[in-house]
Amino acid sequence: MSRTLDLNIKHLTRVEGHGNIVVNIKDGRLERCELEIVEAPRFFEAMLKGRSFHETAIITSRICGICSLGHQIASLKATEEALGLEVSEQTVLLRKLLIDGATLQSNILHIYFLAAPDFFGTTDAFKLIPTNKDVVLRALRMKRLANDIGDIVSGRAVHPITPVPGGFTKLPDESELRAIRRRLVEEGLPDVEATVDTIASVLNSVPGFTRETEYISLSHPDEYALYDGDIFSSDTGAADVNNYREMTNEFVVPHSTSKHCKHARESYMVGALARWNNNHARLSESALRVAQRLNLEPRCYNPYMNTVAQVVECYHCIEDSIAIIDSLLERGIRNEKPNQTPTRFGRGIGATEVPRGILYHEYEYDRRGNIVSANCIIPTGQNLANIDHDMKKLVPEIIDQPKEIIAKQLEMLVRAYDPCISCSVHILNVEFIGG
Amino acid sequence: MIKDPIKIIAIGNTLCGDDGIGYSVLQDLRERSSFPGIPLINCGVDVLSLIDHFSDTEHVIIIDAVKMGAQPGTIKVFETSDVEFTVLSNLFSLHGINLANVLELAEIIGAVPDKITIIGIEPEQIHVGKGLSSTVANAREEIIENLRSVIYGYQHQTRG
């Protein structure tokens, strides 16, 4: 094997010089195989300095429009821990409902708009629309349902406003909760069943690549952990959230402005597949049946199956949302005010699962309740080293394939992780017809 | 379904220099209560959520940084039929979906409002971690003036 191949896939983001897949093979030897992504939260750490605890979550939710709810929840938990603010059971239930909605929304978009084209053998989700209009309408209906959960509980779907340190500034009406429950049952469940059918029909398009790695997620004894739990590694077991720095070990690499992470091995994976591998035993029987139908093994080492794990999570999030609403309605919504009287001023760490994996925020507050220092570790940063190592194993396995196939499989791999490129721009390019 | 007659929607990433112009204009409008009764929506980078507004609005007005090959700070008001968009395909991330994708999608599934007006501003820089350039920040008043004439033009037309 003496192949020489240079691949440089540049359209990951429009930010020049970043977000590229670079592969160089010389005389059959893999010289370079890397993914470069810019990470934005570093700017926020500087921006947060000196800000009051009332503002922290508002600023951090702007780190990213797609992942804003997750940043908000991790931020609130860190602030509450640092200031000794207890929250009520009702607040926890409402936050869990928000996380279910946000996870459902992000997973649905990823499954239908990013992964589906690969499964259906086209380069572009939009080419699928004319022949699969029902499927697209279903995807948009599910996205809207998930959005509406966010709207009802948090005030507005994209940048949540009612969740604040210590609770909520506005609570949902019971009638609104009943209405969304009805939609979850009447639209959500049939739509997610249909999603399972759709994905089951294209499973043979998922590449058979495997690479066992370390899987890290939150884990909780009583539930499929999304909102809260200990940090759990498939290699080393549970660790307290306070030890997150030892679990992430950020380090600088020359090819990326974003730091990489590692723990027990050279890299680890976070996200839906990591959650599935660590916590599948806490899913309901019906969610496990969905997993079985989708050939998702209890220990799955194929990163491309991350998308399939997301489908299982969609099912879980709908089921769990219904159960949470039932619990809220049974208790009755109590008119609680947020608890915003600090009992201490110190350091706090908030960890939560967002669609792309475990997210950490850490703050230190001074005696006036202003930020002294902040740290934020996003899932994509944690996955970057793992993506590099996946690519390094994958490329030699497919090196005899045509260049286009190698490029496609690498792109699919990166897409399976759905990297958060919070600094990506969405600039529209237009040409005026007739000048 | 009762539709909103008009919505003003900003899209763009406030982390990336002039891409945040739409949001900045919305903030100005909120502070001044310039167009009472007209919903002001920031879609940020969740550009796909535009679709939800398309189906329940008669006239959608979008404020966005647009590369038009003009001088930075140049403002152009146009409708979708006036232009050809570059549609980004082969997406890597949900973070990469842009307005052109969404307009194409809306067209195909028939979720298009009666009218879409885009107020485009040519960006000077879209660097991560930078705020608005002074050129684009200084164009805000002119953007609001353009918005005013688009809205009053439309209201006049529907009355008339």
For the beta carbon of residue A435, count every other beta carbon within 10 angstroms: 4
| Alpha carbon A27 to its chain's center | 38
Burial of residue A405 (CB within 10 Å: 0-12, 13-18, 19+) is exposed
Our count of domains for chain B comes to 1
In chain A, whose CA is at the least distance from the CA of B43? A158
pLDDT higher at A244 or A14: A244
For A382-410, the pLDDT digits (tens) are: 999 999 999 999 999 998 899 888 888 98
Residues B6, B10, B136, CA angle at the centre, nearest 5°?
125
pTM of the model as a whole = 0.89
pLDDT interval class at A17 (50, 70, 90): very low
CB contact under 8 A, A423 and B16: yes
pLDDT at residue A48 above 60?
yes
Nearest to B93 among A140, A147, A418 (CB): A418
Mean pLDDT of chain A: 89
Instruction: Give me the torsion for CA of B90, B92, B94, B98, rounded to 10°.
Output: -50
pLDDT interval class at A321 (50, 70, 90): very high
* ipTM of this complex: 0.76
Residues A200, A316, B95, CA angle at the centre, nearest 5°?
75
Nearest residue to A249 via CA among A268, A236, A232: A268
Question: What are the chain A neighbours of B69 within 8 Å (beta carbons)?
Answer: 431
CB of B70 within 8 Å of a chain A CB? The answer is: no
Choice among A88-102, A108-122, A135-149, A330-344 with the minimum mean pLDDT: A108-122
CB contact under 8 A, A136 and B108: yes
Report pLDDT for A330: 98
The pair of three-digit structure tokens given for residue A123, joined into one six-digit string = 């380069």
In chain B, whose CA is at the least distance from the CA of A418? B93
Domain ranges in chain A are 43-386
Burial of residue A402 (CB within 10 Å: 0-12, 13-18, 19+) is exposed
Report pLDDT for A428: 65
Question: Is the distance from CB of A152 to CB of A177 less than 8 angstroms?
Answer: yes
Question: What are the chain B neighbours of A425 within 8 Å (beta carbons)?
Answer: 12-13, 16, 19, 126
**DSSP assignments along A413-430, one per residue:** HHHHH----TT---PEEE
90-149 in B: which are within 8 Å (CB) of A?
90-101, 104-105, 108-109, 111, 118, 120, 123, 126, 128-129
**Which bin fits A281, alpha (ψ -120 to 50), beta or left (φ > 0)?**
alpha
In chain A, whose CA is at the least distance from the CA of B20? A425
CB contact under 8 A, A420 and B93: yes
| Alpha carbon A106 to its chain's center | 7
What CA–CA distance (Å, rounded) separates A218 from A270? 10
CB contact under 8 A, B90 and A123: yes
What CA–CA distance (Å, rounded) separates B22 from B43? 10
What CA–CA distance (Å, rounded) separates A327 from A333? 10
CATH of the domain at B55: 3.40.50.1450
CB of B55 within 8 Å of a chain A CB? The answer is: no
Question: Is the distance from CB of A184 to CB of A169 less than 8 angstroms?
Answer: no
Distance from the B98 Cα atom to the nearest Cα atom in chain A, whole angstroms: 5
Residue B59's DSSP bridge partners are B6, B115
Distances, alpha carbon A300 to alpha carbons A118, A200, A207, A282, A391, in Å: 20, 17, 13, 16, 17
Q: Could you list the residue range(s) of the whole structural domain that residue B14 is in?
A: 4-159
Q: Which superfamily, per CATH, for A43-386?
A: Cytochrome-c3 Hydrogenase, chain B (1.10.645.10)
**What 3-state class would DSSP assign to A307?**
helix
CB of B26 within 8 Å of a chain A CB? The answer is: no
Average pLDDT value for residue range A328-350: 97
pLDDT interval class at A369 (50, 70, 90): very high
